Chain A
């Protein structure tokens, strides 16, 4: 069965510290992975896509098929990174999506 697991509901770090938001998945085919972010009182928005190999706002994510993981990383957290982060998975036909339950990142000054 398809599943996205984000094991941490809350992650608190100090400004300037490294951040890693964990995401593990279960999927029987070749998945496409995404990270979404929701800042306070804003809409859910796409942060980055595995397929684009991009770095957005200093965040990167590497797909590890052996460990079935897609962890989100940033070397130096900023206070403005405080938000809810969701990992999401789609099959390569992009007609079904699965979200994790989210991790709330709190960056303390």
Chain B
């Protein structure tokens, strides 16, 4: 399936460590959002990037940060990992800042913090 690719698919980290998750969007998708989905919960909005700048943020602390690159790839960085950061992290991209264009989700990265 084409569209949004996330890596790695699974990751185990130790509390206090830092982690970088990666997302590759399809060509032309200049908007990317990241979500945290805990077990049994809906996705929680972390932040959104449009043309390499953050243009929206949910209720997540500053240790959650991101980058978006000109080649339609992006990163989610989490510093000082806590046990509660264990979750599925989803990336979604769309063609513009207006989500009426529709957007595509990746299959996620499962992060486990021990």
Contact A100 B42 (CB under 8 A): yes
- Complex formed: what's the CA distance from A44 to B103 in Å? 10
By beta carbon, the residue of chain B nearest A45 is: B105
- Min distance, Cβ A49 to any Cβ of chain B, angstroms: 7
Q: Which one, A44, A46, A86, A90, contacts B102 given CB within 8 A?
A: A46
Q: Which one, A44, A51, A95, contacts B90 given CB within 8 A?
A: A44
**By the criterion of a CB under 8 Å from any partner CB, how many residues of chain B are at the interface?**
27
By beta carbon, the residue of chain A nearest B96 is: A94
Given contacts A43-B107, A44-B90, contact A94 B42 (CB under 8 A): no
- Min distance, Cβ A4 to any Cβ of chain B, angstroms: 8
Contact A99 B98 (CB under 8 A): no
Binding site for A on B (CB under 8 A): 1, 33, 35, 40-45, 48, 50, 55-58, 90, 92, 97-100, 102-107
Mark A94-109 against chain B: 1 for CB-CB distance below 8 A, else 0. 1111111110000000
Q: Which one, B41, B98, B105, contacts A43 given CB within 8 A?
A: B105
Contact B102 A99 (CB under 8 A): no
- Min distance, Cβ A24 to any Cβ of chain B, angstroms: 14
Contact A97 B45 (CB under 8 A): yes
**By the criterion of a CB under 8 Å from any partner CB, how many residues of chain A are at the interface?**
23
By beta carbon, the residue of chain B nearest A4 is: B42
Contact B100 A51 (CB under 8 A): yes
In addition to A44-B43, A44-B90, A101-B42, 15 A-B residue pairs with Cβ atoms within 8 Å of each other are A6-B42, A43-B105, A44-B105, A46-B102, A49-B100, A51-B100, A88-B42, A90-B99, A94-B100, A97-B33, A97-B99, A99-B35, A99-B42, A101-B41, A102-B42
Contact A94 B90 (CB under 8 A): no
Q: Which one, B45, B50, B57, contacts A99 given CB within 8 A?
A: B45
